Structure 1
Amino acid sequence: MNRKGPLTCLLVDDNKVARVTLRKILQNINAVTVVGECGNALEAKAFLDENPVDVLFLDVEMPEMSGLELLRLLTNRPHTILTTAKENYAVEAFELNVVDYLVKPFTLTRVITALDKAQELIRFKQSPQTNTVTPKQLFIKENKVIRKVNLDDILWMEAKGDYVQFKLPDRSYMVHGSLKAIEDKFSSDQFIRVHRSYIIAIDKVEYIEDRLVYIKNQPIPVSESYKDALLAKLHLL
């Protein structure tokens, strides 16, 4: 890793052995400084309210308050690396925009990879060109498998109750969450909201007729409140 000064890290885990193990791993990485340890989420919140850090290593399952609940409470979240013994929190991790998701037991190499991701995000945040950087993939949990999806393959996203359906040319994925939360994660240059229930990929639009957008011959409704923004994005002549 290459950064002026070490990354400051806070370790949060109700299991003392897990904290000791992670601290020993981090001691092998020169560009990292552990500035604190907490045994529960409430201690961590109190610490972070007074001591901002670069990276938060956060256990998911803890008594009284889970790691995910803590993240939802934090106003200014550090770059967070979740640590857990289970794999079934990947979707929620994605929704909370965490840096990485480590399943115990993890290795030195895996921790370095996660820290490199955090460092890259910090570098982009400090750069004046941060807003021009757009991720090219996302990861979606399907049963027990986490699959990579290229953003360029997404045709549209549709709200379905407490879930959002990602429609691709050859299949669909269902992700728990709101369309608003999904909308906040994607570049407005590539996707646009056209209806309270739909976000579409701009470059996949084939034609518009009678307030319907057609993608792969599928009609998608366009609300009056979103129409002008859509036409502006399409560079209508």
Structure 2
Amino acid sequence: MTSIYRRTCLLLICHLALICPLTANDPDSTAVWNICIRSEDNAIIPKATIASYSKITSFVVNEEGCIKLSLPVEDSIRVVSMGFEAKTVVLNQADTYHTGNIIVKLSHNFYQLKEVNIYGYQGILDPMIFPKFEDDSPKIDLHLPSNFGSQISKLPPNERPDVGNMGVMGAIFSPASFIYSKFSKTENSKLSLQEARAEQKHYQFRDQIAGPDIIAMISGFEGKELNDFIVYCNKNLKISNADNIIMAMNKIELLAKKYKEEKGIQKN
């Protein structure tokens, strides 16, 4: 019985001795790999993507930049992460640290810009604030929380409609703010800008209903006489925002008669 037991043990040992080298060299055999992704300065790279060449499958590492995978011994992996250069690693040739982990270090990826165009601010019509054409290019979803950021006006502070000097009610409820709005150079400049814009809008309206072409048509002047009469209208012609083109033409006609009387010009 003892001799039979010994023979059986020897046969098993020989069989294992023959099979184990073949199994070790079998490219289909698998092993468990602990893989950690780091940058060149040993910083953790979370959510990096690892692709297996043999399994044609991708995996994502955890927040600590590590993952445990069961992959073939002869497998290679491709490590990719945004902002870093991709890297290919042969698992059975990778350096294994004393912890038993394979640490893959990625280099930062830098892009050289050929040129950068910086344009001056163009006011409310600045295409950077209100683009002329809708941008249909695909957007990058950063998966930010809903409360991230704040609703801030795209207009500069001095062009927002809620700026300027405070009224009487503001002086009653907030005297300090009222004094600041009256004597602050910044607040005064905001108010001046609003007044300038309103004045510019009025002059544009005036040019539409009482411009040089209309003055020339109503008065019948030409050349130097027309230029002198336009200067005269600039001083004496009163146009309000409630006027229309008919009212403006009547005012120009009355001024033309008065101008001819003052200059002694014979009426046509």
User: TM-score, structure 2 length as denominator?
Assistant: 0.18
**Which of the pair is proportionally richer in strand?**
1
- Structure with more helix by fraction: 2
Rg bigger for which structure?
2
TM-score normalized with structure 1 length:
0.20
